């Protein structure tokens, strides 16, 4: 990180995930090797190669999912739910849970010194928002008449429909509901968003522009249109070959030689980042310290991602900004997508920069949560640091020779005192953060 006396620590975590909606629930699933990958319930899957994924089945989008709230705040959020799509609901809920976890109550600190910073996927509207308008423009033969849309179709669309899908809305809602008047920003960098949001939020605190940042990311890949995009553009674990005996829980298998592709998922996570002396003054519980980061985008002139170089760059960047050497890093939380190409290139990058540093991957339990993956993975590794042990990579039973990493496959590997979390987009935008245990 930049040279400064202002240290940035984690004082709260909130999350919504397929394997738990609290840090303790998340850790229990990891420790028990309990997968959240199950048959999908919210999408028709007959024409998709996969019919399973990591759904947040315990998140209903009702106000009860947003944690303990003061009555006026509860009323405001409940009223605003109709202007939030699922991605945004997940993000706002994770933020409220994180604020509660950190013990930050409205009015307890100067609102001008608290900011918000969120990452996300690109958020796509739902076809149902246009259904009534489209029906109004159908002729007797069922053909859609484009020329009628302005007069007969558009009037049937909810006037504020766009607010449900803008990627800056998670940060906006959280700031407005909680009267947070500090710096605010939103990043739309898909899977790389989470680490980038944490990195930027930490530097905002370091340079003195805020004392506390509510920073997180959200995403769902289980969506009527978003899933179609993914099926057309990315490699999914196939329903017929992905898992032994057709068990969805065995479909996501990072670094295993029998992996066939990634698994769909959804979720959100938020960290409360705080300047150390401010946290100590209010008696906050300190969960870890952000000390390094990296960012790199590498692709050729045809737009084909070079995962290996991008991962190498962000690993080196995290080490350089933190001042640590590879042997001082306790473990790597890999992107661990479970696709043949990405896993192999990531593994070679880890081997080149980090040698035999232990590697784990929470996606094996829940699939790819898109923008939300990184924070949930960070939360898992923070829990591991404080528990003293690493959780194993689920389903990594036969390590691929093209994945030369020290994959954690048992429960007896120490987590160490620090870790690097890495994520990457299909376009080659990679990001990392390096976090260490306090004390």
Q: Cα–chain-centroid distance for residue 393?
A: 18
Do 289 and 253 lie in a common domain? yes
- List b or e across 313-334, with b for residues whose CB sees 16 or more CB atoms inside 10 angstroms: bbbbbbbebbebebeebbbbbb
In a domain, 12, yes or no: yes
pLDDT at 219 over 90: yes
Verify that 135 and 81 share a domain, yes or no.
no
> Do 305 and 274 lie in a common domain?
yes
Position 241 pLDDT exceeds 80: no
- Condensed to tens digits (0 to 9), the pLDDT of residues 147-182 reads 999 999 999 999 899 999 999 999 999 999 999 999
Question: Which domain range does residue 339 map to?
Answer: 8-124+165-436
pLDDT of residue 3: 55
pLDDT digits (tens, 9 = 90+) for 13-36: 999 999 999 999 999 999 999 999
pLDDT at 250: 93
Residue 150 CB contacts under 8 Å (≥ 6 apart), including other chains: none
3 inside domain: no
Identify whether residues 84 and 144 lie together within a single domain.
Answer: no
Higher pLDDT, 101 or 438: 101
Same domain as 103, residue 13 = yes
Q: Are residues 99 and 133 in the same domain?
A: no
Note the pLDDT of residue 108.
Answer: 82
- Map tokens 């979390």 to a residue: 421
pLDDT at 397 over 60: yes
Position 243 pLDDT exceeds 60? no
Same domain, 237 and 145: no
Q: Which two tokens stand for residue 196?
A: 């980038």
Run of H or E including 340: helix 340-354
| Average pLDDT rounded to a whole number, residues 374-398 | 97
Q: List pLDDT tens digits, range 45-72.
A: 777 888 899 999 999 999 999 999 999 9
Contact 226, 124 (CB under 8 A): yes
Mean pLDDT of 183-199: 97
The predicted pLDDT at position 45 comes to: 79
Q: What are phi and psi of 137, to 5 degrees?
A: -110, 15
Beta strand ranges found along 24-71 (DSSP E): 37-39, 52-54
**190 and 43 within one domain:** yes
Q: For the chain, how many residues are written?
A: 439
The C-alpha atoms of residue 222 and residue 55 are separated, in whole angstroms, by 8
For residue 245, name the pLDDT band (cuts at 50, 70, 90). Answer: low
Q: What is the pLDDT of residue 246?
A: 76
At residue 304, the pLDDT reads 93
- Answer yes or no: do 378 and 232 share one domain: yes
What lies within 8 Å, CB to CB, of 258 at 6+ separation is: 397, 398
Output the pLDDT for position 122: 85
Residue 358 is assigned to a structural domain of this protein = yes
The answer to the question of residue 381 being in a domain is yes
Residue 346: name the closest of 289, 401, 273, 423 by CA. 423
Tell me: do 155 and 58 sit in the same domain.
no
Kindly state whether residues 226 and 362 are assigned to the same domain.
Answer: yes
Rounded to an integer, the average pLDDT of 281-294 is 97
Q: Choose among 403, 38, 42: nearest CA to 243.
A: 38
pLDDT band at 231 (very low <50, low <70, confident <90, very high): confident
| Domain end call among 104, 136, 162 | 162
CA–CA separation, 124 vs 152, rounded Å? 23
Q: What kind and span of H or E run contains 279?
A: helix 276-281
Q: What is the CATH number of the domain that holds 398?
A: 3.40.47.10
Is the same domain home to 68 and 107? yes
CA dihedral 256→376→193→219, nearest 10 degrees, is: 90
Alpha-carbon gap, residue 116 to 168, rounded angstroms: 10
What number is the average pLDDT over the span 248-263? 95
Q: How many domains does the chain have?
A: 2
Closest CA to 332 of 423, 201, 249: 423
Assess contact for 329 and 354: CB atoms under 8 A: yes
Average pLDDT estimate for 370-382: 97
Q: Grade residue 375 by pLDDT with cuts at 50, 70 and 90.
A: very high
**pLDDT over threshold 90, residue 345:** yes
Give the least confident one: 226-230, 301-305, 368-372, 379-383.
226-230
Whether pLDDT at 106 is above 80: no
For the chain, the straight-line distance linking the first and the last C-alpha, in angstroms and rounded, comes to 19
pLDDT tens, 70-101?
999 999 999 999 999 999 999 999 999 999 99
pLDDT value of position 2: 53
Task: Express as a percent the part of the chain with pLDDT over 70.
Answer: 98
Distance CA(151)–CA(160), nearest Å, equals 18
Report residue 224's pLDDT band, with 50, 70 and 90 as the boundaries.
Answer: confident
- The overall average pLDDT reported for the chain is 94
Instruction: Please say if the pLDDT value at position 305 is more than 80.
Output: yes
275 close to 211: Cβ distance less than 8 angstroms: yes
pLDDT number for residue 43? 84
Considering the domain boundaries, does residue 245 fall inside one? yes
């Amino acid at each position: 990180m930049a040279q400064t006396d202002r240290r940035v620590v984690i004082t709260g975590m909130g999350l919504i995930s397929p394997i738990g909606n609290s840090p303790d629930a998340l850790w229990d699933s990891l420790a028990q090797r309990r997968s959240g990958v199950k048959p999908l319930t919210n999408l028709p899957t007959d024409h998709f190669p996969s019919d399973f994924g990591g759904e947040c089945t315990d998140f209903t989008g009702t106000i009860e999912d947003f944690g303990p709230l003061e009555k006026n705040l509860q009323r405001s959020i409940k009223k605003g739910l109709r202007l939030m799509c699922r991605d945004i609901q997940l993000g706002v809920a994770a933020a409220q849970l994180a604020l509660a976890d950190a013990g930050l109550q409205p009015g307890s600190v100067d609102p001008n010194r608290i900011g918000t910073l969120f990452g996300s996927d690109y958020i796509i509207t739902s076809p149902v928002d246009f259904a009534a308008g489209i029906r109004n423009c159908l002729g007797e033969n069922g053909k859609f008449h484009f020329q009628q849309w302005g007069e007969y179709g558009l009037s049937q669309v909810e006037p504020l429909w766009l607010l449900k899908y803008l990627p800056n809305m998670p940060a906006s809602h959280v700031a407005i509901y909680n009267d947070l008047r500090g710096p605010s920003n939103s990043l739309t960098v898909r899977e790389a968003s989470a680490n980038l949001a944490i990195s930027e939020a930490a530097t905002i605190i370091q340079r003195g522009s805020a004392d506390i940042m509510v920073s997180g990311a959200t995403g769902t890949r289980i969506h009527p249109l978003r899933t179609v995009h993914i099926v057309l553009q990315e490699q999914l674990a196939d329903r017929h070959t992905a898992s032994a005996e057709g068990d969805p829980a065995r479909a996501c298998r990072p670094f295993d030689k029998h992996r066939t592709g990634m698994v769909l998922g959804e979720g959100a996570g938020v960290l409360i980042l705080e300047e150390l002396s401010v946290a100590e003054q209010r008696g906050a519980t300190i969960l870890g310290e952000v000390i390094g980061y990296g960012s790199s985008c590498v692709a050729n002139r045809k737009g084909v991602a070079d995962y290996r170089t991008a991962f190498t760059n962000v690993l080196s960047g995290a080490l350089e900004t933190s001042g640590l050497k590879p042997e001082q890093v306790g473990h790597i939380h890999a992107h661990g997508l479970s696709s043949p190409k990405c896993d192999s290139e990531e593994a070679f990058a880890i081997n080149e920069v980090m040698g035999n540093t232990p590697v784990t991957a929470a996606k094996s339990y829940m699939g790819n949560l898109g923008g939300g993956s990184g924070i949930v993975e960070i939360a898992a590794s923070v829990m591991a640091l404080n528990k003293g042990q690493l959780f194993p990579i689920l389903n990594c039973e036969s390590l691929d020779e093209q994945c030369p990493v020290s994959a954690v496959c048992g429960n007896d590997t120490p987590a160490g005192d620090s870790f690097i979390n890495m994520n990457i987009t299909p376009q080659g935008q990679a990001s990392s953060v390096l976090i260490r245990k306090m004390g």
